[in-house]
Amino acid sequence: MTTRAMIVIFQTILLAVLVPGSRAAPAQEVEVERTQPPLAEPIPNFEHVQPYVYRDLVLRYPLPEDGFTRHIPLAEPSPDAYTQLISDGVFAALGIAQEGPRPPDGPAEPRIWQRGNREYDLDYTHDDTDLRGFIVEPGGGELRGTVLIVHAWKGLGDEEKERARMIARLGYRAFAIDMYGQGVRAEDNEEASKLAGTYYADRQLMRGRVRAAIDALKNEGKLTDNLAAIGYCFGGTVVLECARHGMDLDAVVSFHGGLTFESAPRRGQVTASVLVCNGYADPYVSMEDRQDFKREMQQAGADFVFIDYADAVHSFTSKAAGEPAEGKGAAYDEKADERSWRAMRDWFEQAMPN
């Protein structure tokens, strides 16, 4: 059965069930009541504008001229079913509405879901090394800017790609860049240490890889006026290194990145607004390194904020780091993860206003 035939059958069923005896007539909107609790997860391939509450469905189909409508209680809808309908092109017949929190003075305006983010790889080169980054375009609305994401020391992986999707939901183009090369990813910490060590020992190469990613965006016509960079662990050090050497960035955010550098920035050299999100209990970032970093940034006249999250250790944003345990130097911390993400969002809004 062809896709078009399935669409016709679906629309026919809507007519037969919801509006018996109807014929072709002007399309209208009808709200269909829900009697079940909201979905636990968002429907795939769509993204919401703000935190939402599933409230009702809006079905569009031809109605008789008298405008007769029928409210039908629905069982819990299936995300897989909606995904199939959407991929079959039935979006014109089915829309999904959501409603935000009600303000004290009246009902909130309903917001229509937008099509989901578009994802694709971007190949580029630097110093004869083939690189492959991962781009996520926001699903709709005004593009607020571009955010580079620099991976942790094992290489570009699923966690960075998921962060790219989260960034895109905020309205930014997200580019998870590749520092190591196509297909290069460490299997264990020992291999990761060797890979990252190459760039710690050659800071010019480190910065060059980031510039190559920016050039790749420019060549694709995807470089925006607003440009930020965030990084995790090794990536946090990378973005701070770039900011301290005056790279043309509006905002930089480091999540549990290392704070050792070869030289201090000159006065006025740091043009980006810098946010450092650090775990207070991180055994790999010494108190001396923290103080040196803050002193150097202050002397350089940089716009920066340094946050220590109580009890958080290294890798506090990474679920792959596992649960905290006595004596464990790296572990996931949900509270620190959520708080640092909110801090990043606020930082972007200040440093990259629309």
For the stretch 102-155, pLDDT in tens is 334 433 333 333 446 799 999 999 999 999 999 999 987 789 999 999 999 999
pTM beyond cutoff 0.75: no
CATH 3.40.50.1820 for domain 118-351: yes
Predicted confidence (pLDDT) at residue 335 exceeds the cutoff of 80? yes
For the stretch 338-351, pLDDT in tens is 999 999 999 999 99
What are the sequence ranges of the domains in the chain?
3-114, 118-351
- Check residue 142 and give its pLDDT: 85
- Check residue 202 and give its pLDDT: 97
Distance of CA 72 to the CA centre of its chain: 36
Q: What is the overall mean pLDDT for the chain?
A: 77
List of residues 6+ apart from 262 with CB closer than 8 A: 203
Report the amino acid identity of residue 315. S
> What's the 3-state SS for 210-259?
HHHHHHHHHHCCCCCCCEEEEEECHHHHHHHHHHHCCCCCCEEEEECCCC
Place of tokens 């980031």: 210
Predicted confidence (pLDDT) at residue 1 exceeds the cutoff of 80? no
For the stretch 37-74, pLDDT in tens is 344 444 444 333 333 333 334 333 333 333 333 333 33
Please compute, for residue 77, the number of CA atoms within 13 A of its CA located in the half-sphere on the CB side: 23
Task: Give the pLDDT band (50/70/90) at residue 323.
Answer: very high
Query: How far are the Cα atoms of 74, 114, 159 from residue 39, in angstroms, in the given order?
Result: 13, 17, 24
Predicted confidence (pLDDT) at residue 164 exceeds the cutoff of 70? yes
- Check residue 141 and give its pLDDT: 77
Torsion of CA 347, 144, 270, 284, to 10 degrees: 50
- For residues 124 and 30, give the distance between their C-alpha atoms in angstroms, rounded to a whole number: 49
- For residues 175 and 229, give the distance between their C-alpha atoms in angstroms, rounded to a whole number: 9
For the stretch 274-318, pLDDT in tens is 999 999 999 999 999 999 999 999 999 999 999 999 999 999 999
- Check residue 280 and give its pLDDT: 98
For the stretch 197-240, pLDDT in tens is 999 999 999 999 999 999 999 999 999 999 999 999 999 999 99
CA-wise closest residue to 229 among 183, 177, 267, 188? 177
Task: Give the pLDDT band (50/70/90) at residue 98.
Answer: very low
pLDDT: which is higher, 261 or 36 = 261
**DSSP assigned state of 352:** S
